[in-house]
A and B are shown apart, each in its own frame.
Chain A
Amino acid sequence: MEEVNRIQNEVFTAREKSEKPTNFSSYLPAILALAGAFVMLGLRIQIGTGFISDTALMMLALACYILAALFQLTNLYAPSEMAQKIGLWGATLGVFLNLASWLVRWVNTYEFELVQLQASGNTIKPWVFRYIPFGNLYDLSLAFAFGAGITTLFVAHRKNFQFLSAFTLPLAALILTLARFIGGEHSNLMPILDSYWRPIHVGVASLSYGIALVCFAIAVVYLLKDKVKVEAMAIFSSLFAIAVIGSISGGSIFTQAVYRAGTFMPNPAGGKPFNAFFRFELPFVGWALVLSGILLAGVIIAFLAYLYQ
């Protein structure tokens, strides 16, 4: 728990020792990342489909986030100016690639549908916001991770907050990993989503998710700083996890040890698939979740015993 002690005793108090108020150049990483991403967008438009794909850019961003987080973590254990620098610029590179991926995806989605339209002889040219990458969970995850990344960079303009990346970037990396599993295939947009509200609504939502993620990390760090016991936090997190497991699938996990998923049925009369009246039981998942619940209960008991011994 050495790093916890360091947070409690040094990192937050470093401010008193910090020399000067911050200035404009401390925002440089954030500015560079944003500007660079738009340059990439310009390049994609100039070069065409031969340009690096958005999914590849996303993987690079993921790698940068992990690398930056690693160095920031190392810096907590063994403070070093170099680790901190690599952490900061790694994060900058990650945010740059993350936003570049999102912007390039915009162009790709546009061309994906335009090809379809033209192939079928349609001469309609829909407006460009129809293709803003806010159409599905993959797009949203990209924007979410970017929100977390750019907030991290803004917060990092105060030197003694740079270590927060050690907490926020692994979370951003987790989101990008989930996005990787969802897959970046393009799909046609639901017609109802072709509205000017979508860029506003989803844009605000995904950025604020990112900000909330950073706030979450800051809150945890403040709890550490105020010497809340890590074991106590683990107990509450486990309780929350048990509540989640207990409430999914209509509460069937702990009562029947089964997990049922909602099912869509193909519509025999044509038309869209409809929501089945029954839920489909997934084999093994129920028991695996029960096991997780038991392990979580074990965590709670063990830490309670430790705290009260």
Chain B
Amino acid sequence: MSAVEESIKTKEISKPKTAPIGNRILDFLSSVRFGVVLLCILVFLSILGMLFIQQNVQGFDSSFAMRTPAEKFVYGYLGLFDIYHSWYYKGLLLLLSLNIVLASIDRFPSAWKYISEPKLSATRGWLLNQPQNAVIKIYGNSEGEIAERIGKAFEESGFKPRITEENSKSYATDEEGKKDFNRTESKKSLYVFGENGRINRLGAYVVHVFLLTLFLGYFVASQTGFDADIRLTPDTNQAIQRDFNVAQKTDAIQLIEINLDKQERFNVQLPFTITCTEIEQKLIDPNGSIEINNTLDWRTQIKIDDPQYGQTVADVSLNRPFTYRGYRFFQASAITMGSASLMKLELKPENGGQPIIVDLKRNETAELPDGTKIAYNTFLPDFVMQGGQPSTKSGDYANPAVVLDVTKPSGETTKVYAFANKLPDNAPINAPKAGYRWHLASYDKSPLAHVLSIKYDPFNAAFIAWYIGGFGLIGALMFVFFISHKRVWAMIDKKSENEFEIVFGGNANRNHLAFEDKFKTIVESIASNEIPEQKI
């Protein structure tokens, strides 16, 4: 819509055949039509991104494995497995941003006119053409006094009044009341103009600013940052780390890249080392499983050794991510292979006497009064001997056992298995060792490893995009749609000595029903010839 609402349109008689090529390109780039097309393409690509499991999403590996070689090749070539980072997606976003900027610049002057040069007067015909209009007759002393009165009524309803005198031109009428199109008459009329919420005309630009914040923030984040997972266990046992592809200490993270049909993993070096010191799973029912539906929270304790900034210890919980130097650590999932973080051992001396209770932490060593050292080696949830080596049949706590390295004061070391299930005393594996009969009295459940998701965003661009851009966009859209620019005009026409005709017209750019109510209230309050009482 243009603020020049009453301009007389002249037919263009001749049009230059072609505008300069530069102008035409600019016109095209700033056209709303082009913007709409770009938006549709982006929406379409985003839908594709939801239909094809993206490479950083859980379940990608299995879905990728199911594809035929041809699918892998074609989709991989088209970048469909990582569409939001593909060059064409980012290119379209930039183009759309440019388009919004240009379109906004193009239209801004006409929106600004509503604020810089409000329309203060109008012809009778124009007023009667407005969605809301009314003609009333009232009595008063002078035009000035009537204008005052109308202004007050406007003000009462929250409209800022402005009184102007303007020459109005109209065709003269002959004796029979017919318009004589050969003569125009010029008459001075007093106008009262009132408006409310004109700032709303700029709402679209506020929306676009936040929209651009969102787009550009996202663009910068995806250009400069990355997402990756690390699988961390506090368990120092090398064999377990190898078997389950987990680490206790790492200074690199693995990223995936699809190169045509091949998934390639490559390491990205971190500027610090991460060590997992403890993981914990808070359960609803501590005797139940470590499955998700019995879980309140997961907590991973990490230690960061940074050559530049020294050591930091931090906790990462499900809804408490931890941020360090642009890296944000989130809980992503758990490897629900049963393990334990705290064990209670019951030791019965071989030669009789009171049993000894020992508390042992994962990775740690406990010492008995007689100087025997008990070192944690491994926890096995479903113990089985395999090829002479202790191993586990499954991840469930079916036959939990802890493997210990026990060193006698004499310096001699033995491997000891302590079982949670009661075993017959004569079972060879339950034979007394190092002077004691060993029993795993209790343990608290903890998964073997936690998967942390790392989001690297060196410029906080994602934060700016989503929090400032996102909330700003919501606020701006509310501003656009819940505020409206309402305008009313009253033209005062002297009919006789103290009889005046007032022509009202009004419009609003939104919420026409509410405006209609307001308009009626204003007109009625003026027609009833009484100024609404001042509220005290």
The interface of chain A, by Cβ under 8 A from chain B, is: 21-22, 113, 116-117, 119-122, 124, 126, 158, 187-188, 190-192, 194-196, 268-272, 275, 277
**Closest B residue by C-beta to A120:** B285
Q: Is B8 an interface residue (CB 8 A)?
A: no
Q: Is B365 an interface residue (CB 8 A)?
A: no
Per the bound structure, the CA–CA distance linking A113 and B59 in Å amounts to 31
- The reply to whether A192 and B318 form a contact with Cβ atoms under 8 Å apart is yes
Of the candidates B282, B288, B291, the one whose C-beta lies within 8 Å of that of A124 is B282
- Beyond known contacts A117-B284, A126-B296, A191-B296: 7 more, CB 8 A cutoff: A21-B521, A124-B282, A124-B296, A187-B293, A188-B293, A268-B394, A275-B59
Per the bound structure, the CA–CA distance linking A196 and B319 in Å amounts to 9
With a CB–CB cut-off of 8 A, which chain A residues contact B294? 188
**A-B pairs, 10 with minimum CB distance:** A21-B517, A120-B285, A270-B395, A271-B336, A195-B319, A270-B396, A191-B295, A188-B293, A269-B395, A269-B394
7 residue pairs from A and B, CB less than 8 Å apart: A117-B285, A158-B513, A190-B292, A190-B293, A194-B296, A194-B297, A270-B338
Q: Is B21 an interface residue (CB 8 A)?
A: no
Given A117-B284, A120-B285, A271–B291 Cβ distance below 8 Å?
yes
Q: Is B520 an interface residue (CB 8 A)?
A: yes
Q: Is B18 an interface residue (CB 8 A)?
A: no
Per the bound structure, the CA–CA distance linking A120 and B394 in Å amounts to 25
- The reply to whether B513 and A188 form a contact with Cβ atoms under 8 Å apart is no
Per the bound structure, the CA–CA distance linking A121 and B284 in Å amounts to 9
Of the candidates B59, B283, B319, B395, the one whose C-beta lies within 8 Å of that of A271 is B395
With a CB–CB cut-off of 8 A, which chain A residues contact B292? 190-191, 272
Per the bound structure, the CA–CA distance linking A187 and B293 in Å amounts to 8
With a CB–CB cut-off of 8 A, which chain A residues contact B66? 277
Interface on chain A toward B: helix, strand, loop, or mixed SS? Answer: loop
Interface string of B284-327 (1 = CB under 8 A from A): 11111101111111100000000000000000001100000000
B280: min CB distance to chain A, Å: 13
- The reply to whether B394 and A188 form a contact with Cβ atoms under 8 Å apart is no
Q: Is B62 an interface residue (CB 8 A)?
A: yes
The interface of chain B, by Cβ under 8 A from chain A, is: 59, 62, 66, 282-289, 291-298, 318-319, 336-338, 394-396, 513, 517-518, 520-521
- The reply to whether A21 and B286 form a contact with Cβ atoms under 8 Å apart is no
Given A117-B284, A270-B336, A272-B336, A191–B297 Cβ distance below 8 Å?
yes
Given A194-B297, A195-B319, A271-B336, A188–B284 Cβ distance below 8 Å?
yes
With a CB–CB cut-off of 8 A, which chain B residues contact A190? 292-293
With a CB–CB cut-off of 8 A, which chain B residues contact A272? 291-292, 336
A276: min CB distance to chain B, Å: 9
- The reply to whether A122 and B520 form a contact with Cβ atoms under 8 Å apart is no
With a CB–CB cut-off of 8 A, which chain A residues contact B288? 120
- The reply to whether B62 and A22 form a contact with Cβ atoms under 8 Å apart is no
A164: min CB distance to chain B, Å: 13
**Closest A residue by C-beta to B282:** A124
- The reply to whether A116 and B285 form a contact with Cβ atoms under 8 Å apart is yes
B21: min CB distance to chain A, Å: 42
Given A194-B297, A271-B395, A272-B336, A122–B286 Cβ distance below 8 Å?
yes
**Closest B residue by C-beta to A198:** B319
Per the bound structure, the CA–CA distance linking A111 and B341 in Å amounts to 30
Per the bound structure, the CA–CA distance linking A152 and B288 in Å amounts to 46
A282: min CB distance to chain B, Å: 21
Of the candidates A195, A196, A275, the one whose C-beta lies within 8 Å of that of B62 is A275
**Closest A residue by C-beta to B395:** A270
With a CB–CB cut-off of 8 A, which chain B residues contact A21? 517-518, 520-521
Per the bound structure, the CA–CA distance linking A270 and B66 in Å amounts to 23
Per the bound structure, the CA–CA distance linking A196 and B298 in Å amounts to 17
Per the bound structure, the CA–CA distance linking A188 and B318 in Å amounts to 16
With a CB–CB cut-off of 8 A, which chain B residues contact A116? 284-285
Per the bound structure, the CA–CA distance linking A93 and B32 in Å amounts to 47
With a CB–CB cut-off of 8 A, which chain B residues contact A188? 284, 293-294
With a CB–CB cut-off of 8 A, which chain A residues contact B338? 270
Q: Which of B292, B296, B336 has the most CB of A within 10 A?
A: B296
With a CB–CB cut-off of 8 A, which chain A residues contact B285? 116-117, 119-120, 122
- The reply to whether B297 and A120 form a contact with Cβ atoms under 8 Å apart is no
Given A272-B336, A277-B62, A277-B66, A191–B394 Cβ distance below 8 Å?
no
Of the candidates A120, A195, A275, A277, the one whose C-beta lies within 8 Å of that of B287 is A120
With a CB–CB cut-off of 8 A, which chain A residues contact B287? 120
Q: Which of B283, B288, B319 has the most CB of A within 10 A?
A: B319
Per the bound structure, the CA–CA distance linking A272 and B288 in Å amounts to 14
- The reply to whether A113 and B395 form a contact with Cβ atoms under 8 Å apart is no
With a CB–CB cut-off of 8 A, which chain A residues contact B284? 113, 116-117, 120, 122, 188
Per the bound structure, the CA–CA distance linking A277 and B319 in Å amounts to 31
With a CB–CB cut-off of 8 A, which chain B residues contact A277? 62, 66
